[in-house]
Amino acid sequence: NKIGVIFDLDGVIVDTAKYHYLAWKELADDLGFEFTEKHNELLKGVSRVRSLEILLGIGNISISEEKKQEYLVSKNEEYLGYITKMGANEILPGASELLDALDNVGIKYVLGSASKNAPLILKQIGLYDRFAGIVDGNSVSKAKPDPEVFLIGAEKLNLTPKQCVVFEDAIAGIEAAKNANMISVGIGDENTLKEADYNFNNLTEVPSDFFEKLVTL
Ligand code: B16
Ligand code: MG
């Protein structure tokens, strides 16, 4: 009985949601409507294209496909301005320690993120080489809650879905893990992520014998 781990990126390893927020807010400002941090919650774990659609819905704005493409590019350029300034100090509490613990017991892990910028972010924070594989927004055709991203992750781990443990902060991500038939761990508010098999407020709370216990289940 072997297990492997699939980590979501934003909200689990780093908090890039705050940079997504700033970049989307810039666009909303230009378009002349208010975009709050509460609105931003709706974009967590959701693809870039879908995020734009939700944002435009909030502003009650309809625009051409061409304009949409333009906004997707400008938002990402703005976002990259923040991302390229990131460093290892932005790794969320408990993440490095958890990866160390997995390395020590020989449990492999891959990334399963909706972000097309995931490789860049991992390089910025110095964790890129640690992962056995990276599945990001460039490698999937269907967004979470579709299980595709995690199923490709299982292939990279050479494991069956039931042997995979997914760490996620978004409802759509927990749903995707369930749809993939994997063990799901919700990181963040327990009430929001109540569908998860296990819940922790953050990675520092994951007990040191967590994986050991899973293997013997
Ligand atoms: P990008 P995750 C997701 O990352 C973010 O939570 C979501 O807000 C974002 O829209 C999505 O990545 C796409 O990001 O614009 O960089 O391709 O949580 O799946 O790691
Ligand atoms: Mg996330």
Q: What is the pLDDT of residues 8-34, one digit of tens each?
A: 999 999 999 999 999 999 999 999 999
Buried b (16+ CB within 10 A) or exposed e, 185-196: bbbbeeebbeeb
**Mean of the per-residue pLDDT values of the chain:** 97
Give the distance, in angstroms, between the CA of residue 51 and the centroid of all CA atoms in the same chain: 14
Model confidence at 1: pLDDT above 80: no
Q: What is the pLDDT of residues 161-205, one digit of tens each?
A: 999 999 999 999 999 999 999 999 999 999 999 999 999 999 999
- Take atom 14 of ligand 1 and give the residue whose Cα is closest: 115
Q: What is the pLDDT of residues 33-67, one digit of tens each?
A: 999 999 999 999 999 999 999 999 999 999 999 99
For residue 61, the one-letter residue type is I
Q: What is the pLDDT of residues 95-142, one digit of tens each?
A: 999 999 999 999 999 999 999 999 999 999 999 999 999 999 999 999
pLDDT value, residue 216? 82
39 CB under 6 A from ligand 1? no
Ligand 1 atom nearest to CA at 117: 16
Q: What is the pLDDT of residues 96-107, one digit of tens each?
A: 999 999 999 999
- The answer to whether 115 is annotated as binding is yes
8 CB under 6 A from ligand 1? yes
pLDDT value, residue 35? 98
Cα–Cα distances in angstroms (integers) from residue 78 to residues 73, 75, 126, 136, 205, in the given order? 9, 5, 22, 20, 34
Best probe residue, ligand 1, of 10, 122, 175 (max atoms within 8 Å of C-beta): 10
pLDDT value, residue 151? 98
- Take atom 15 of ligand 1 and give the residue whose Cα is closest: 48
Model confidence at 94: pLDDT above 80: yes
pLDDT value, residue 207? 97
Grouping H, G, I as helix, E, B as strand and the rest as coil, residue 165 is: strand
Q: What is the mean pLDDT of residues 143-171?
A: 97
pLDDT value, residue 182? 98
